[in-house]
Structure 1
């Protein structure tokens, strides 16, 4: 049964890597922290490493609370978080934890059959920090600010999409409604990720990803086009995407090249996005014309920041936009938003 609204949501985190740790920290830095209680973490790594990487983070700084440990738990400001080290969903007694929600941050499970294993093992609900293989593999894929109101509360498996989808979909949705998007090519310039080695080595079937992450700009495959079309199906067949990994540890960007139905100029494009940042998309979309570098947006909670100084128009219906986003902190912040919104609509898990 759904918990009383006055009780905090009891959360377990499965997979305590970059996003898992950012999600925990985003909860503690959120104005809604009292609405949630992280009661369990499942992560194969040893407890000493879990404690250390919670306390110290090279990208986001020291944890803002007191971090300690017992023999089998992480302590945050004295509150106990049970820690297990299982490698499969079935090894954890999720029901015994009395949880309301598992936030799946390992990224290892992407098909309906794989995700169902959590439900069968006692998880009442599952919120994914990745898109899953397809829309059919989850009950809903949510980009907060675009379709979160479609959640009805009886879903069991919900995806928070990807950091790039959360960044670009609000911008494309605004542009399509205002000017009509005929075609779009998205180029993601993304910070390094943990599927890349520091030095050349046997590592991945994608041969480019065998190369040193810190010495080159590396083109990689991306599912961003499919992710956009899943959220904005009216753009199906009109979206192409490519991705580059660059030697920075955090904060990424997307260069958006568009052909539009209506004639536009730089002033009209920027006015639309500046206005949305201050009204309909406040808190999700930001706008700036300052001479920024990527580091300016580290630990930034917006889904995207439009760099108005980089807006270009090449002909009456061709345009290019540039958006920044913290691929860790912005996405973790949206996980918090979706969990909070979904909780308000929960029905008995059945």
Structure 2
């Protein structure tokens, strides 16, 4: 039977999720039947059809009878600003994909359940582990999903990128301490020109003219998935003036002696084996644009791996912070769906 989905919040990740679903093998098994987005229908249709980062939509996009249509399939459009303003039950959905980023506590998310959504998949981390039934990074703990969860978080793009690599390094060499520096493309919480915009004063500055340090919860996200590293991971984030594709510089002290060749061999073997499709490995001379629309959670740049002394190592991970993450949402949804009660 067709799985009926709805999307709440049709911004960068909401639109990428729809595209990733359409480009996946599930396009005929899963159907997005509703989108809730405050923007007007003309803008929704236009931004679905054309995308400055990922190009034209690979299907026919139009509107009819106040609905968005993809290859002739209608998608009901609502413009509510609160969960209760949509009759989700009447839409007959099996799951809501929450992509607005506005809801991070159990009380807030329960409003969707109470309004008729059987299940909710978040495109962002919850404020705490206890606020959701599970926080899932595909390839790490997706097998722990039982199927009876009501609210699941897909963590963050950076968590999905770095946690598999950290897990590999910890299992093979032991991680003593880790420092994570994310170089992240601009986001829509930054203005194009200086303006009164955010209580974080750095975020009031022009996104396209400066490299801007911002706060990040990545260390908490890592510890949520890899509790054995609690208290040993620190992270910072720097926004850079590119539209898409980000990088993480991972610097860590290991408990076993290693050299760059041993680290790269581990990454390359994992990319060919247990993490195939999630991690990739390269030693080519890449720039960030080469990974636009790349579906991997992370691509390890082996040419940038360094070891100082015997235990201080640094790695560079590339990731498409939009497309890779949206692809993992599709993966998590697929695995979760197969465990739903029948």
Fold-level match, TM-score > 0.5? yes
- Provide the rounded CA distance (Å) in 1 between the counterparts of 2:2 and 2:144: 23
Q: Which residue is 1:30 aligned to?
A: 24
1:156 to 126, 150, 157: 150
CA positional deviation for 1:14 = 0.3
Deviations 1:269-311 (A, max 9, x none): 0000000000100000000000000000000000000000000
1:283 to 277, 283, 300: 277
Q: Which residue is 2:187 aligned to?
A: 193
Deviations 1:73-100 (A, max 9, x none): 1000000000000000000000000000
CA positional deviation for 1:35 = 2.0
Tell me, yes or no, if structure 1 residue 177 matches structure 2 residue 163: no
- Provide the rounded CA distance (Å) in 1 between the counterparts of 2:268 and 2:222: 22
CA positional deviation for 1:9 = 1.0
- Provide the rounded CA distance (Å) in 2 between the counterparts of 1:34 and 1:152: 25
- Provide the rounded CA distance (Å) in 2 between the counterparts of 1:114 and 1:75: 30
- Provide the rounded CA distance (Å) in 2 between the counterparts of 1:132 and 1:191: 22
Structure 1: which 5+ runs fail to align?
A: 1-6
Q: Which residue is 2:304 aligned to?
A: 310
- Provide the rounded CA distance (Å) in 2 between the counterparts of 1:14 and 1:94: 11
CA positional deviation for 1:347 = 2.1
TM-score, normalisation: structure 1: 0.97
User: Any idea what SS the aligned residue of 2:28 has?
Assistant: helix
Q: Which residue is 2:295 aligned to?
A: 301
- Provide the rounded CA distance (Å) in 2 between the counterparts of 1:284 and 1:32: 18
CA positional deviation for 1:315 = 1.0
TM-score, normalisation: structure 2: 0.99
Tell me, yes or no, if structure 1 residue 74 matches structure 2 residue 63: no
Q: Which residue is 2:43 aligned to?
A: 49
2:97 to 103, 111, 117: 103
What is the Cα-based RMSD across aligned positions, in Å?
0.6
- Provide the rounded CA distance (Å) in 2 between the counterparts of 1:142 and 1:117: 21
Deviations 1:17-68 (A, max 9, x none): 0000000000000122222110000000000000000000000000000000
Number of residue equivalences: 342
Tell me, yes or no, if structure 1 residue 347 matches structure 2 residue 332: no
Tell me, yes or no, if structure 1 residue 117 matches structure 2 residue 80: no
CA positional deviation for 1:71 = 3.3
